[in-house]
Structure 1
Amino acid sequence: MHARGRLAGAIMSITLLGGLGAAGLPGAATASEPAQNYLVFYKDGGRDAAQRAAEAAGATIQARDDKLGYLVVRASDPERIGADPSVVGVTLDRPIGKTADAPVAPRAKRAEPAAKRVRSAQGADPLSDRQWDMKMIGATPTGSYAKARGSHKVLVGVIDTGIDGNHPDIAPNFNRALSRNFVIDQPDDENGKPLDGPCEHAGCKDPADVDDDGHGTHVASTIGSPINGIGVSGVAPDVSLVNLRAGTDSGFFFLKPTMDALEYAADVGVDVVNMSFYVDPWTFNCANNPSDTNRESLEQRAILEGMRRAITYAHTRGVTLVSAIGNESLDLGKVKTDTSSPDFPKGSEKKRVIDNTCLNVPAELDGVISVSSVGPSGRKAPYSDYGVEQTDIAAPGGDLFDAGTDLKGASREILAAAPEHVLRARGLLFADGKPKTPSVVRDCQGGKCAYYQYLEGTSMAAPHVTGVAALIIGRFGKPGTGGLQMDPAQVERLLYATATPKGCPTPRTYRYSTGESQVCEGPTAKNGFFGHGLVNAARAATVTS
């Protein structure tokens, strides 16, 4: 499931997937409603008309983004602005969505990773025997590692809660120069209750090498932990990892920081982006739902339009986009009700009737490769969302209930890097650094210790696909702005062509040990559980274009 409806991947106490909001529940405007900042999306050619409509409603223009077609206005009556025919949608610009902490250079130079790369003689790392996921997709010394490991020229963006750029199993591949943080921590919510926690840095803005949650570090590690004689190895162990932080410490991913991250990725030449989240506060965004107020409909239309524009902007500039499909055990093509939205502010959730026109974003948007999750036996994980229209490809994401394979003591979840300070804050380490739980693993080599954590979810599945996409780009991409250049459509074609075909179970109604049943539809070539099949790094490392 989504952690509290945000992180599309990790099944844990926190959730990641969304955006942070300002004070005030969605609803009708009141005479005493204070002015707040809103994003106003206008139709093509409608910028001037939208600006006039905003000013007529008493709003002041704060900023604009001509690339994605929206204004930032300060207003107290967003519905009046939204009623103008030039306006597509209006949503709050929540206070954590800020601009990048450095200007974007039109043709940014690629920066070399900070630390020296080290290849171990055996071609795998000390904890590789616990990485059943890598064995499943052929990311091993006798598989893809022998043929393709990616390249430092391949820029892999991770839109998440951040990356611990100082982790020993991240640092050699961490691109500090291009990494950015697009959010500002908010210690308390609008009711004065703890949200992100105390500010650790000036201005409440974490440096671009910090992850106070752990989700983004885990994702980055699965993609590109180097083969360096410590811990684990990633799918593409020689790539450059770029932190594009759009998630808050509390796990929300709101619209503006997410759009900022995608726009920045496109402008600096990032090659492939991993998105293991959904955009808050709506699990499903409906353009015209009778169950919603006018204000709520305007907000959801803005999220749909804003994300479509950001995805299109990145995709047309050569960014391959990979997303976790979600963890609610739902057939996304047949969802009838939504009880988890809006998830911010806390307590504003309501039950509403929805249909297939209501979309989970970014997973259900055109141009995005949506990834379902499998366990060690290869069955679809029970938590993973699915759907014959929505599932593009499958990858290992973990399944604690999957008893079909002997892992010789390793967990049925995915092992990847974790920030030590996060583990300590959660009480998972003793004072001397030893783990208190088998879910945390410490590896010490040459006087240096690093930490790893087992997690499961579609958030853990997506980075396997992102890593294989990076291998493909490393082999066939051409020099371009920032990283390499390869048409995302070609990357997608090769991902599917090299996937291991995997048909629906027999019978198609699969019953899990919990008693839950899910129905798989579609042929082996493209079905609701596995899409085009199970991603395969070994085949991607040898395929001819």
Structure 2
Amino acid sequence: MEKDCLISVNPSSQKSLALDNGMPWGVQQIKAPQAWGVTTGHRVKVGVIDTGIDFNHPDLRHSLLRGINLLNRSKMPYDDNGHGTHIAGTIAAANGMHGMIGVAPRALIAPVKAFDHNGSAFVSDIILGIEWCVRNGIDVINMSFGMKNRSKALLGAVTNAYNSGVIIVASSGNDGKLRSVDYPARYPQTISVGATNRSRRVAPFSNRGAHIDIYAPGEKITSAWLRGNYNEMSGTSMATSHVSGAIALLLSLYPHLTPAEIKLIMKRSMQPLRNAKNRRSSTGELDIVRMLQAAEKL
């Protein structure tokens, strides 16, 4: 038996603020709006294993499935932290007129509450969350958290999801290290995500290097927050939600793509980063227009 470790949502800086124009810069940078004429992620189910969700947020109300609260099965997965609501907003907020719009505004979020109000969870609850997603026909699992130690049981759950055709997107961690990536992002069955800033450079806090599959905007990201508010946060957590939204756009057009095919499409369609020395070998930034073109050729 292995020890049931505590795991936390990746800590990040944050400040609350008003929304300026409804279109967060990250959603624009990855070219999501250029894809909306073809795909909005319609009915693709994204499981967000996190702190829950603000079910009353006007930007999220139309994008929610019931989900599950693993900390208290008799309650809805309400968010008492904010992190999960922020992640869900980037993936699928859909209130362009008055609020914000996410990467895949017609995707459906299944909130899986495994983390408490402090942003802490036991690995055993994460595993239950993954298993719940596989049983309930979830297409993509967003895992904006990480831990340093490897867990055989977590790897087993991730592998089972992968073999069932569920795509897992995980954040690489905020240690600013070159060759270090958190688990579960380090497992090859996941898509591991690093963070970039507005100038398409790797954000200083982001882990980087060969273990990262793709980078996406993660610095000063505005998204939904508790009580109908908005909050700006930085972290590879935020980058991960951009990639989950992009995969929802892709799956809405090509529902039969496997996790391996999706990783291949992402690898073939990345934009080179601004500060990459060796452009051929380096991992690049998510570009949804190029991603959809690469999917056509597969």
2:244 corresponds to which of 457, 463, 466: 466
Q: Which residue of 1 aligns with 2:224?
A: 417
**Deviation of the 1:148 alpha carbon:** 1.5
1:7 correspondence with 2:17: no
1:161 correspondence with 2:51: yes
1:394 correspondence with 2:215: yes
Q: Which residue of 1 aligns with 2:39?
A: 148
1:492 corresponds to which of 225, 249, 263: 263
The CA distance in 2 between the partners of 1:361 and 1:210, in whole Å, is 26
1:277 correspondence with 2:175: no
Q: Which residue of 2 aligns with 1:377?
A: 199
Q: Alpha-carbon deviations, 1:303-344, whole Å to 9, x = none?
A: 5201110000111101101011101112234xxxxxxxxxxx
1:213 corresponds to which of 67, 77, 81: 81
The CA distance in 1 between the partners of 2:26 and 2:264, in whole Å, is 23
**Deviation of the 1:251 alpha carbon:** 1.1
**Deviation of the 1:451 alpha carbon:** 1.7
Q: Runs of at least 4 residues of structure 1 off by over 6 A?
A: none
Q: Which residue of 2 aligns with 1:534?
A: 285
1:127 corresponds to which of 21, 24, 29: 21
Matches within 5 A, 1:153-302: 154-176=44-66, 179-184=67-72, 207-278=75-146, 283-285=147-149
How many residues matched?
A: 288
The CA distance in 2 between the partners of 1:308 and 1:490, in whole Å, is 20
The CA distance in 2 between the partners of 1:455 and 1:255, in whole Å, is 24
Going from structure 1 to structure 2, the CA distance change for 1:218 and 1:386 (only over 3 Å counts) comes to same
Q: Which residue of 1 aligns with 2:3?
A: none
1:475 correspondence with 2:253: yes
The CA distance in 1 between the partners of 2:194 and 2:214, in whole Å, is 6
Is 2:200–2:273's contact at 8 Å kept on the other side of the alignment? no
The CA distance in 2 between the partners of 1:8 and 1:254, in whole Å, is 14
Going from structure 1 to structure 2, the CA distance change for 1:377 and 1:181 (only over 3 Å counts) comes to same
**Deviation of the 1:539 alpha carbon:** 2.6
Q: Alpha-carbon deviations, 1:84-133, whole Å to 9, x = none?
A: xxxxxxxxxxxxxxxxxxxxxxxxxxxxxxxxxxxxxxxxx97235x211
Whichever of the two has the greater Rg, that structure is 1
Structure number with higher relative contact order (C-alpha < 8 Å, ≥ 6 residues apart): 2
Is 2:7–2:121's contact at 8 Å kept on the other side of the alignment? no
Going from structure 1 to structure 2, the CA distance change for 1:228 and 1:375 (only over 3 Å counts) comes to closer
Unaligned runs of 5+ in 2: 1-5
Unaligned runs of 5+ in 1: 14-124, 185-204, 286-302, 334-358, 399-412, 421-449, 479-485, 507-522
The CA distance in 2 between the partners of 1:10 and 1:224, in whole Å, is 21
1:319 corresponds to which of 147, 166, 171: 166
AA of the residue aligned to 1:455: M
**Deviation of the 1:220 alpha carbon:** 0.6
The CA distance in 2 between the partners of 1:458 and 1:163, in whole Å, is 19
The CA distance in 2 between the partners of 1:132 and 1:382, in whole Å, is 18
Q: Alpha-carbon deviations, 1:462-501, whole Å to 9, x = none?
A: 11011111111111004xxxxxxx3111111112222213
The CA distance in 2 between the partners of 1:8 and 1:313, in whole Å, is 24
Higher helix share: 2
1:332 correspondence with 2:182: no
**Deviation of the 1:208 alpha carbon:** 2.6
Going from structure 1 to structure 2, the CA distance change for 1:206 and 1:381 (only over 3 Å counts) comes to farther
The CA distance in 2 between the partners of 1:385 and 1:268, in whole Å, is 32
Q: Alpha-carbon deviations, 1:426-479, whole Å to 9, x = none?
A: xxxxxxxxxxxxxxxxxxxxxxxx42111111111111011111111111004x
Is 2:199–2:274's contact at 8 Å kept on the other side of the alignment? no
